Amino acid sequence: MPSSHGGSHWFEPSSAHHQSFDWGAAGAPATQMASQTSIRERVTAHVERALAALAKDGLVTGALPAVELVPPKSAAHGDYATPIALALAKSAKKKPRDIAEALKRALGDAGGLLEKIEVAGPGFLNLFVAKAAWLEALAHVLQAGETFVRSDHGKRERVLVEFVSANPTGPLHIAHGRGAVTGDVIAGLLDAAGYDVSREYYINDLGNQTDIMARSIHLRYAELFGRAFAPPEDFYPGDYIIDVARELKTEHGDRFLDQPEAAWLTLFRDRGIDAMLRRIRADLDAFGVRFDRWTSEKELVARVGLDGLVERLEAGGHVFTEDGKKWFRSTAFGDDKDRVVVREDSRPTYFATDIAYHDDKMRRGFKRLVNVWGADHGGYVARVRAGMQALGHDPAALKVVLVQMVSLSRGGESVRMGKRLGTAVWLDEVVREAGRDATRYFFVMRRSDAQLDFDIELATKKSLDNPVYYAQMGHARMCSIARRAAAQGIPAPTLAPGALDALALPEELQMVKTLVRAPEVVAAAADLCEPHLIVHYVQDLIGQFHSYYTLYKNSEKVISDDPQKTRARLLLCQALRLALAALLGILGVEAPEQMAAADADAADA
């Protein structure tokens, strides 16, 4: 892996602001499409304009730094704050507070957008957005409906998300499940953020592992005929292997008993792969994960031909021969050591096909590649990037998300597991026990690169300690309010001018402020490839609603005698519901209109 001391900047984005893809839109002017421009962008544009005015008057000189709006920790510091005056102080040789004061004057009320500007602390500019602007933003949410969380941030750039890609040698276990949701949600986020996304599963149907599986099946097959069973070191112990062996016995009898490997290996391998893929697809299907394309390694090799790939590497001078093997000089691109691409017996290595695969992805026209890998594959990132670079691709086009392990517990009691011990926890078991929604939600609750403790007891709890339940309950509660209103004969609220003006409680305004940020949050989570940001945002939003609901249940209810307030609050609930439904949709978690009663669950089962 690249180290921090130089020479490696091709592989690991070297500076902090490159840690995520800067996938465009950052420099886009915030002027067009006023109706969809976020408040944040509008405020930024005004500050930039004010700054330019100061520069014109010679108050500040030199290159102007980018205007950054910081979300203040305290509401007393406004809706946005900018430390721009602090940053300018040195080059302008002026006191930060003086610059801030000048900016404040130049800003004015920003065309009615701002209701108050304060110079605070060492020279922060605290900006208070006018209530009318927030309500206007809320109106846009209601007009857009569920699509409001979407944006054109990604400019339809084509992105390929490759994930799961588990070997077809057994069912998916719990860690695969985490990778599956992570990839699926990242793809969903990219889609919502305006990228053109494709989901892909790479099938490693070539090579040793599948041969080992074939031999394992054959051993089991022989065992079914009463032969002594002595598993070798490389052996797949699972029962699913026996199932395949049984099928083969039924179909072919003892035809392959005591036969040399050549007589049965291909058949047993193909049948094994076929059976495992069927199972994997079924598991993923039950988990709500679908792919646009399944790429077979075998077919890839047949299609692109590895000879050509090696020749291209050779033509670039990236290959040398030693001990009869062909080596890719990946160290030239920052890798730890050079890697064999063609073995002595002229068989290509796994690595060779992997370069070919990534080359193929780029050649298919994708501008960005996201790979969701288990953390144990971390060591491969450098060499794959090296391969891409050697073939003339931008290595920075590849983003690898490393997903850490999942440890399972029940009410704090950890469940021991290990593949070796044969105590692997299969994904389908977990989904069956905890349910698809809870499992998905928990798997993306934490940052991908942090280990995850999955408490299956908590996940199945029908109570609000359970974060999934909390969120879904919120959605159900909003639906329930709408149903109640309809039952009382209150007409469906319409978005007439002034319809939202009755929203005046601080909690209501705060919810609006949080709500209208959703598209930004989605775009940020997409660029960073960090689904957990959505989960945290959902918890924040729904937490505010539960709190609001309870706080005012005896005083300022949504449905009241005041038709103005009732209409405005119903509209707010409607917008919140839309946001929640859209976000849960991206997470692949259901947004129920009412929480199922326990007996209804039993009836379904």
Which C-beta is closer to RNA: that of 94 or that of 546? 546
Work out whether the CA dihedral 572, 573, 574, 577 comes out positive or negative.
positive
Residue 173 DSSP one-character state:
B
Which C-beta is closer to RNA: that of 404 or that of 439? 404
Shortest spacing between CB 573 and RNA, in angstroms:
8
Q: Are 540 and 517 in contact (CB under 8 A)?
A: no
Shortest spacing between CB 519 and RNA, in angstroms:
12
Which C-beta is closer to RNA: that of 258 or that of 323? 323
Q: Are 173 and 427 in contact (CB under 8 A)?
A: yes
Which C-beta is closer to RNA: that of 59 or that of 559? 559
Shortest spacing between CB 475 and RNA, in angstroms:
10
Which C-beta is closer to RNA: that of 113 or that of 516? 516
Shortest spacing between CB 510 and RNA, in angstroms:
11
Shortest spacing between CB 80 and RNA, in angstroms:
8
Shortest spacing between CB 225 and RNA, in angstroms:
29
Q: Strand runs (DSSP E) across 406-502, as ranges?
A: 406-410, 413-414, 452-455
Shortest spacing between CB 312 and RNA, in angstroms:
20
Shortest spacing between CB 548 and RNA, in angstroms:
8
C-alpha 43/C-alpha 529 separation (Å) is 27
Which C-beta is closer to RNA: that of 84 or that of 500? 84
Residue 435 DSSP one-character state:
-
Q: Taking the CB of residue 8, how many other CB atoms lie within 10 A of it?
A: 17
C-alpha 127/C-alpha 129 separation (Å) is 6
Q: Are 161 and 372 in contact (CB under 8 A)?
A: yes
Which C-beta is closer to RNA: that of 184 or that of 527? 527
Which C-beta is closer to RNA: that of 37 or that of 539? 539
Residues 6+ apart with CB under 8 A from 338: 320, 327, 328, 329, 330, 331
Which C-beta is closer to RNA: that of 242 or that of 549? 549
Task: Give me the count of residues in the chain.
Answer: 605
Shortest spacing between CB 251 and RNA, in angstroms:
27
Q: CA-based angle 534:540:544, to the nearest 5?
A: 145
Nearest to 22 by CA among 66, 76, 86, 72: 66
C-alpha 257/C-alpha 20 separation (Å) is 55
C-alpha 569/C-alpha 589 separation (Å) is 26
Shortest spacing between CB 258 and RNA, in angstroms:
27
Q: Write the DSSP assignment of 239-306 as a string of letters.
A: HHHHHHHHHHHHHHTTTTTT--HHHHHHHHHHHHHHHHHHHHHHHHHHTT---SEEEEHHHHHHHH-H
Q: Are 538 and 478 in contact (CB under 8 A)?
A: no
Which C-beta is closer to RNA: that of 139 or that of 417? 417
Which C-beta is closer to RNA: that of 4 or that of 32? 4
Shortest spacing between CB 588 and RNA, in angstroms:
19
User: Rg for the chain (alpha carbons), in Å?
Assistant: 29
